[in-house]
Amino acid sequence: MAKAETTGRELKKGLLPRHIQLMALGGMIGTGIFKGSGDTLNIAGPSVIFAYLLGGLLLFIVMVALAELALVYPGLNIQHLIHKAFGFRTSIIIGWLYWVNWMIVTIVEILAGGSFLQLWFPHLPLWLLALFCAILCVGINLFQVKYYGEFEFWFAGIKIFAIIAFIILGLLILFGVIPGHADPLKNYFGYGGFFPHGIGGVISAFLVVIFSYGGSELIGLTVTEAKDVEKTLPGVIKGVVWRIILFYVVPITVICGMMPWNKVSQTESSPFVQVFHIVGIPGVPHLMNFVLITAVLSAANSGFYATTRTLYAMAERGEAPKFVRKISSQGIPIGGLALTSGFLAVGILLAYLAKGQIINELMSIPGFTIILVWMAICAAELKLRPHYNGLPFFKMIGYPYMTIAGIAGLGAIFLSFVFNKANWIGTVTCLVIITFLIILSFFIKEKTPEKN
């Protein structure tokens, strides 16, 4: 029998389809929409709606490519699929890049939770409130996956219900059913027009938009712990895609109609709270703030899940340290959880040392990394499709042109980020990380699979 800290124990399989769907939504509906929407509105104004729509189309292409691969090669997650398509060295680079992406996303979600708590505890520092959120999330991730999935199901359900309630309440105000001070036509077209910063503003907003949609590929991880994957995966992906577009595009449209885009603050509370302060509905801003806190903690939980499972999968192939394969008696990858918690502590330290726009600066980095991961998924489908034993019932329509279009669109967005001076911190950070991972890949030897 293998050693207990490695293969003697296995990850528990206890996630149900409803857990997976809500977890996928939980990873995608967080800081990107609740706090990042303030950034995109300042960058592009009301025209940011088109950025979210185009981002949704690219998301759909990536999700279909991933679903097709998962059905043809059941039991393989993203890192395994990249390894199968492009070999060991590329899988190291993409695998670690994916972990870096989710690690930073988790830090951002935790810091956002702390920033929302400052509405009620304005005299407490961000780092201290973020530390409280981090301890809570680490505790949740120590439970068995089935209990974690149940917790996350209700956690994510709260914010989905809140967004729907926000949309309904906002539309009632915009159409005059509920008295308010909103002037939608003036707000949409009266402050520099619908495109106040031109097409360039829409392109610039993609950095946060892609960050916001990042998390959809979490299904590529959760599928390895699902039951009846061939029956549940296609429906899960179709449902996630249209819901994500709905939960981003419609709320942004409502916000633009309820307040002038240039009055949305990037440094204060969420735009979802700001609009209710402006329309003057008592009590609602605080209720919404509570929901936002549960929302970002839900996204942080998804981040913990993604980082720990990514590390475990990489360690199986010798791409990560052996200790991250350590499994607790509850079937939890405790080694990966410890490493993730350590880096989370570094993020909280940054909040202590670098005050101000720390969340916005960190939020730009996953925008770069997730594009590269998405491009790798699409490229893997192009490489592996000719080697399928047979096409699955759920496959890419218009192959290979749709997949190539997805890669081209993502590549164009990535290049626009790199050559935009406003993104120099994220650009330099991302290029340094990629360079380091490329060098690292030459020093790691591929591990021979263990035989049972």
Model confidence pLDDT, tens digit, residues 56-108: 888 888 888 888 888 888 777 777 888 899 988 888 888 888 888 888 888 88
Give the integer Cα–Cα distance in Å for 402 and 400: 6
Summarised one tens digit per residue, pLDDT across range 148-188 is: 667 777 777 777 787 888 888 888 888 878 776 677 888 88
Per-residue confidence band for 417, with pLDDT thresholds at 50, 70 and 90: confident
> Above 80 in pLDDT, residue 266?
no
Report whether 336 contacts 327 (CB < 8 A): no
Closest CA to 317 of 447, 173, 409, 168: 447
pLDDT score for 209: 84
Give the integer Cα–Cα distance in Å for 292 and 300: 12
Q: Name the one residue in this structure whose structure tokens are 């959120």.
A: 133
Summarised one tens digit per residue, pLDDT across range 240-249 is: 677 777 788 8
Number of Cβ atoms within 10 Å of the Cβ of 407? 22
Please provide the DSSP assignment of 57-100 as one string.
Answer: HHHHHHHHHHHHHHHHSTT--HHHHHHHHH-HHHHHHHHHHHHH
Query: Residue ranges of the alpha helices (H) in 317-423?
Result: 334-353, 358-384, 401-418
pLDDT score for 8: 46
Give the integer Cα–Cα distance in Å for 400 and 408: 12
Amino acid at 89: R
Query: Residue ranges of the alpha helices (H) in 73-224?
Result: 78-86, 88-117, 126-140, 145-174, 184-189, 198-213, 219-222
pLDDT score for 14: 53
pTM of the model: 0.80
pLDDT score for 7: 43
Q: What is the DSSP letter of 15?
A: B
The CATH architecture that domain 17-441 belongs to is Up-down Bundle (1.20)
Q: What is the DSSP letter of 323?
A: G
Q: Look at 421 and 323; give whichever has higher pLDDT.
A: 323
pLDDT score for 382: 94
SS3 state at 226: strand
Q: Mean per-residue pLDDT for 192-201?
A: 87
Per domain, the residue ranges of the chain are 17-441
Q: Look at 166 and 223; give whichever has higher pLDDT.
A: 166
